[in-house]
């Protein structure tokens, strides 16, 4: 479903990804691990279509189409979802209004009929309970005054509502205590499905105890430098990145 070949990406003229190759099939959960500055967030942004991330070489094929030429909003409508490390606070837009607008925008783009306010509310309530997203949170301005855990839960609630084909989770564990982490991980695991691929980006192995990946890739210096099964994550935790990330000759 996702084929990244020899991907080079520059931000502000500086090359961050330097020939990344990665392939994810339907229903698979892949983890990308790597030290700070290795290009993990750049990869997540370039997949989601953030401006300022310039592909200088290589290709990204998503479900048979060229992802790189698609607009940000079209990627979302076609099933790409990025759970962000730092979800943005938007005063003046209530959370529920935002969810309704986004959900209906995606439905419209796919040629589905829009849902009315009551149907959206019903759907949101049904999905929100398991993630402990309260009615009160839904009435507040988007992410404004939310704790770190509340923000991450709201990201996973969106994932649950939008039902993406490819979910990218960027440092979803950052800033969470163990209880919050478990809650978020359970939310993610509930969304594992044969037709849904996930790319879990994380610095630490901790999250992967709860969201167990099929494959682990180690990103360093803008390239995948090691790959393996879930045991690779444990090895990294025990020995550190320096053990695997060899300085370029």
Partner 1 sequence: MNAALPSRDARRAEALESFRERGMPHRRFEHWRYSDLRAILDAGQVAQSGTAAWHLEKAPEGVETFDLGKPDAPDWVMRNLGTIGARPTMKEASLAFADGGIALRVPRGRKIAEPARLQISSTGNVRVLLVLEEETSLTLLETHTGDAGLLRNVGVEIALASQAKLSHVRFAASALKSISVEHIGVTQARGAQYRAHFANFGSRLSRTELHILLQEEDAEAHLSGVNVLGDEGHADLTSHIEHVAGNTRSTQLFKKVAGGHSRAVYQGKITVREGANGSDSRQTAKALLLGGRAEADLKPELIIFADDVKCAHGAAVGDLDPESLFYLRSRGVPEAEARHMLVRAFLEDAVAEIENEELRAAIWQDVEHALPHAMRAAR
Within 13 Å, how many C-alpha atoms sit on residue 36's CB side? 1
Query: In sequence order, which residues have a C-beta less than 8 Å from that of residue 244 and are 6 or more positions away?
Result: 218, 220, 225, 226, 235, 236
Minimum Å gap between C-beta 243 and partner 1 is: 35
Return the range that interacts with partner 1 (CB under 8 A); candidates 16-24, 86-94, 126-134, 179-187.
86-94
Size of the site for partner 1 (CB under 8 A): 28
How far is residue 164's CA from residue 140's CA, in Å, rounded to a whole number? 25
Closer residue to partner 1 in complex, CB, 33/84: 84
Q: Which of 72, 132, 124, 80 is nearest to 98 (CA)?
A: 124
Q: Are 208 and 122 in contact (CB under 8 A)?
A: no
91 is a contact residue toward partner 1 (CB under 8 A): yes
87 is a contact residue toward partner 1 (CB under 8 A): yes
93 is a contact residue toward partner 1 (CB under 8 A): yes
Instruction: Name beta bridge partners: 81.
Output: 167
How far is residue 82's CA from residue 72's CA, in Å, rounded to a whole number? 11
| Cβ atoms within 10 Å, residue 158 | 23
101 is a contact residue toward partner 1 (CB under 8 A): yes
Minimum Å gap between C-beta 103 and partner 1 is: 8
Minimum Å gap between C-beta 234 and partner 1 is: 32
The torsion defined by the Cα of 105, 47, 170 and 114, in degrees rounded to 10, comes to 10
159 is a contact residue toward partner 1 (CB under 8 A): no
11 is a contact residue toward partner 1 (CB under 8 A): no
Minimum Å gap between C-beta 216 and partner 1 is: 25
118 to 137, contacts with partner 1 by CB under 8 A?
A: none
**Binding stretches for partner 1 (CB under 8 A):** 48-51, 71-73, 75-77, 81-82, 84, 87-88, 90-93, 98, 101-103, 105-106, 109, 158, 162
């Amino acid at each position: 479903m996702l084929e990244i070949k020899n991907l080079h990406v520059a931000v502000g003229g500086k090359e961050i990804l330097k020939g990344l190759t990665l392939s994810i099939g339907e229903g698979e959960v892949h983890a990308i691990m790597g030290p700070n500055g290795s290009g993990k967030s750049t990869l997540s942004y370039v997949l989601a279509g953030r401006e300022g991330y310039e592909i200088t070489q290589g290709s990204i094929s998503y479900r048979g189409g060229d992802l790189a030429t698609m607009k940000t909003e079209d990627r979302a409508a076609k099933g790409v979802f990025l759970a962000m490390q730092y979800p943005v606070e938007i005063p003046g837009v209530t959370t529920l209004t935002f969810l309704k607008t986004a959900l209906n925008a995606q439905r419209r783009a796919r040629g589905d009929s829009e849902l009315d306010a009551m149907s959206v509310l019903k759907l949101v309530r049904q999905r929100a309970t398991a993630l402990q997203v309260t009615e009160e949170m839904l009435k507040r301005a988007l992410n404004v005054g939310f704790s770190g855990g509340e923000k991450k839960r709201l990201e996973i609630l969106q994932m649950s509502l939008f039902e993406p084909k490819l979910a990218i989770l960027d440092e979803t564990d950052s800033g969470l205590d163990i209880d919050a982490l478990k809650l978020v991980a359970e939310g993610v695991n509930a969304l594992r499905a044969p037709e849904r691929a996930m790319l879990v980006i994380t610095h630490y192995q901790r999250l992967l105890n709860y969201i167990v990946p099929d494959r682990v890739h180690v990103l360093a210096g803008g390239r995948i430098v090691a790959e393996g099964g879930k045991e690779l994550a444990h090895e990294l935790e025990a020995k550190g990145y320096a053990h695997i990330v060899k300085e370029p000759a």
